[in-house]
Amino acid sequence: MRNLSSPRRSFHITLITCFCGLLAAVCASCANLPSAPSDAPPRLSPQGAATESEKAALIRWLSAYAVREQSRSGIPASITIAQAILETGWLRAETPVRRRMVLKAKNLFGIKGEGPAGFVEIPTTEYEHGRTITVIAKFRAYHSYSESFEDHSRLLTTSPYYSDALKYRNDPRKYIREVARNYATDPAYAEEVWSIVRRYNLRRFDTK
Known catalytic membership, residue 151: yes
Q: From CA 185, how far away is CA 86, in angstroms rounded?
A: 14
The catalytic position among 114, 121, 126, 164 is 126
Known catalytic membership, residue 54: no
Q: From CA 17, how far away is CA 8, in angstroms rounded?
A: 14
Q: Which helix (H) or strand (E) holds 109?
A: none
Question: Cα-flanking dihedrals φ and ψ of residue 60, to 5°?
Answer: -60, -45
Taking each helix axis from N to C terminus, what angle separates 189-199 and 77-88, rounded to the nearest 10 degrees? 110
Question: Cα-flanking dihedrals φ and ψ of residue 77, to 5°?
Answer: -60, -35
Q: From CA 60, how far away is CA 62, in angstroms rounded?
A: 6
The catalytic position among 151, 178, 186, 191 is 151
Coil, strand or helix at 108:
coil
Q: Which residues are catalytic?
A: 126, 151
